[in-house]
Structure 1
């Protein structure tokens, strides 16, 4: 964040100063967690459903925060506002207007975080770059990312999430992107999109509702004459259909005949993709250190964006090949225990049909080199609506087809987005498709860990995959640390 006095911040957000020196300067990032405060930063105190940030105001200032952005008085220097979320958005807009980096917005039902990480790796080799941390991509995460940027920032890579129509319009109002990347339209959180569309959308194709919401990013781009660029996936018909919604230049990536940035000679080496990256300016070899054939599409999206920004194919390929493993946690992260050779594949950040299928296929490819036995710990998929049972059944069928030796299927929490029919359907399908497979249906993460420990044998490959609410990343950590 560029340096601003508390008086300037109060003016920008329409707030009032409380026990604060107007001349005091904020020259560090904004934090929502008092433990993440850095000297010179600003602490944003939220009245959350479970935690009231105002209770940590004193701790934040003691840790070095210049002041607190708060909605009620606290016993330390503060800028008081009616709505902290709105104030963060206003402050982010102001910060961005004063530094003018090239803003890249990136959305899609899946692949966002990996693609964002790959693109950030390419751009960081060229100029100072700020990118979304992990999947902090919502109405709070995006402003906080913008507020990490300062006058030195050349590229600002913003992952943009959406759960309903209007979300991306709101995010692009905070950070207008010059480049917009759309990866795919799929079933991630599809029930929330349908619910947000209201009763007038009854009977409409759910994925059409998702696509309309995702297309808000390309609709918000500037024209080609003003430098706008839309990077679209030619392999996804719903993404391809977004092209008429923008006046920006369109750069196509994918494997289809219309793709400008594409790939040849794809192959898997120890479950990880190698290929030749092909652009209008030449070709170069790439060896990813990311598990799964589906990562090629993510790499092509990152490459297409970098190419559209004028970066040469050799530099793009070199950066993609040098990325190492996943930068963000619980995204097909591979860890092997020294004691018994058990490999834990942690993909527990989230789960929906497309990502489940990708994870099962990627884990199978990893195990295939040495014909290793595979155990899956699979959690319920969130927000799958009336099709939940059918979509979970397909995952059970696939596990059986791929030859998983054992499954532990974990129920989701008691909430409106988990109805319990999915795990039952997954279990039934797996047992029907592979009668010799050992299948357990458990209540929660703790029971899953007990059962998994009994099932795992030396040299097994263990996939841990489930929706974020289940907390299966902790189970993956526990398994990886054992042996």
Structure 2
């Protein structure tokens, strides 16, 4: 993090500085954290209200770890009765955003930094990881940890940047119109990437067309000097070229697509017998390179192409891009994470996020990998935030499981009844599809019935928690409880967030991955 004084932070955020000795040395912060356990000497501790706890209750821990200043919504007294050194603001998260925006402004004024924003209904984190790996060969690169992609995660990513940073990769998620516009206003991206428009959060957005409008806020934020990198295989994304002043570049798996903008293409896209994407990568200059990625599933071809397209636009040599895609594996957890147990059971843990499109992609990969295996298992939890289409989408997914000839379907949780019913109505019979109340019941079933040669997929929305069950099953008999490293889950935000982003008075729920 570039340095800020307490006085500068107060001025930037319109906050009130308390607990600091006016006659003493200036307080200088050199890092920032929202978790008191991550504070080190020189930290700014952002005491935001959270889903599980209020950061104001942990100022003692933060300052004990080395924090020198808090960004807080109220004064908190220390052991001596005096308030901890703090900048008091009405909304700590919005104040984080203001500090992040100033950080980007100063980085731009001081040097050659390029900001890349990535959005889409699926694949953001994988694409971010791939792109960071490719750009690291061109210069110092900063990218989010895990799925830090909301109004908390984006500032935390910005705060990782230093004066030496050349590439700043920002993942942008949203659950309401105006969220991406707000995030883009903080970082002013030079390059905007849109991966796809799906039905994730359809209930909160009010339909897929509203999702498309929200994702397009990224390309609308680009200046004429910027570049919009668009998925030409998604009609809603392709239509966004009319919504941006920036030049456009495209990536596609189609041989037929043509455009005035630069096109990066995957020809002969398929998967290997091990499930790895394989294709001929072609560039606008006519160069062709064979790529077999270590990622798992054909759907990752979109993410690979997006990363390749951005890297090409930023000057990375095609040969280096192709070589990078051949070697870069998933860097974030619970994304098609494969474990081959010693007893012959294979576990695919993809339970960090789920929507109808990503569910179908994962199930197709399971069916492909299951050829020649003893049995295929799909352990599925609820897809959240689908609104009025929840029952329909779960019913349809159950039918897809049967059509793909998955051997065993385990529906986990009270809200997966429609998933189970869809499978039964499509023709699943006997014990091919079962419904269990919770992850503990699913674990008992799997412990009793998994056998060597089986392959099992875990897939659900983050809130369903199946990723931890997947971890335990991957460890084999007598596993130890797994720990969540705590990726970006911001709490519900007050209306001020959306008002700041879009002028709306709607409630601004936290961005989810």
1:283 to 279, 288, 296: 288
Offset of residue 38 of structure 1? 2.8
SS at match of 2:411: strand
1:217 corresponding residue in structure 2: 218
> Which residue of 2 is the match for residue 323 of structure 1?
328
Per-residue deviation at 1:436?
5.2
Q: Distance in 1 between matches of 2:57 and 2:66?
A: 16
CA distance in 1, matches of 2:68, 2:4: 11
Q: 1:61 aligns with which of 40, 60, 63?
A: 63
Question: How many residues are treated as equivalent by the alignment?
Answer: 456
2:299 is the alignment partner of 1:299: no
Aligned twin of 1:355: 358
Cα distance in structure 1, aligned partners of 2:62 and 2:388: 45
Once residues 361 and 15 of structure 1 are traced to their aligned partners in structure 2, the CA distance between those partners, rounded to angstroms, is: 52
How far 1:459 sits from its partner (Å)?
2.5
- Whether 1:80 and 2:88 are equivalent positions in the alignment is yes
Task: Give how far 1:87 is off.
Answer: 1.0
> Distance between the aligned counterparts of 2:235 and 2:26, measured in 1?
54
Distance 1:38 1:406 in 2: 48
| Structure 1 CA distance for aligned equivalents of residues 169 and 281 of structure 2 | 22
What SS does the corresponding residue of 2:176 show, helix, strand or coil? coil
From 264, 275, 292, give the equivalent of 1:271: 275
Tell me which of 302, 307, 318 is aligned to 1:313.
318
**C-alpha contact 2:176 2:214 (8 A) present in aligned 1:** yes
Alpha-carbon shift at residue 64 of structure 1 (Å): 1.7
**Correspondence for 2:370 among 355, 363, 367:** 367
CA displacement, residues 295-315 of structure 1 (integer Å, 9 cap, x when unaligned): 111100111111111211111
Q: Which of residues 252, 261, 274 in structure 1 aligns to 2:264? A: 261
2:30 & 2:373 partners in 1: Cα distance? Answer: 55
On the 8 A contact 2:380/2:411 being kept in 1, the answer is: yes
Query: Does 2:448 correspond to 1:454?
Result: yes
Note the C-alpha offset of 1:405.
Answer: 1.7
Q: Any unmatched runs of 5+ in structure 2?
A: 79-83, 478-513
Of 153, 159, 169, which residue of structure 1 is paired with 2:171? 159
Q: Which residue of 2 aligns with 1:473?
A: 467
Change beyond 3 A, Cα 1:119–1:83: same
- Whether contact under 8 Å (1:408, 1:452) holds in the other structure is no
Task: Give, in angstroms, the shift of residue 458 of structure 1.
Answer: 1.7
Q: 1:3-62 CA distances to partner (integer Å, 9 max, x unpaired)?
A: 12222222222222222356121112x111111223322111112343011111111111
Higher relative contact order (CA 8 A, sep 6+): 2
RMSD (Å), alpha carbons? 1.5
Bigger shift: 443-452 or 92-101? 443-452
Find 2:44's aligned residue among 42, 45, 59. 42
Which residue pairs with 1:93 in the alignment?
A: 101
Equivalence for 2:240:
242
| Aligned equivalents of 2:229, 2:431: Cα separation in 1 | 43
Residue from 334, 338, 350 that aligns with 1:334: 338
- Distance in structure 2 (CA, Å) of the matches to 1:141 and 1:296: 26
Deviates more, 1:453-462 or 1:237-246: 453-462
Give the match for residue 137 of structure 1: 149
Aligned counterparts of 2:456 and 2:389: Cα–Cα separation in 1: 27
1:341-390 superposed Cα distances (whole Å, 9 cap, x missing partner)? 2111111111110010011111222222x434111110011122222222
Q: Secondary structure at the match of 1:391?
A: helix
| 2:419 aligned residue | 426
The CA deviation at 1:463 is 0.4
Cα distance between partner residues in 1 of 2:200 and 2:431: 28
1:168 touches 1:217 (CA, 8 Å); kept in 2? yes
8 Å contact kept, 1:234–1:258: no
Could you tell me how far 1:402 is from its partner in structure 2?
A: 2.0
Structure 2 partner of 1:10 = 10
Query: 2:115·2:167 contact (CA, 8 Å) conserved in 1?
Result: yes
User: Cα gap change, 1:85/1:360 in structure 2, threshold over 3 Å: closer, same or farther?
Assistant: same
Aligned to 2:433: 439
2:197·2:208 contact (CA, 8 Å) conserved in 1?
yes
Instruction: Provide the residue aligned with 1:32 in structure 2.
Output: 34
The equivalent residue for 1:23 is 26
Paired position in structure 1 for 2:488: none
Q: 1:333 to 1:289 in 2, by over 3 A?
A: same
Conservation of the 8 A alpha-carbon contact between 1:336 and 1:344: yes
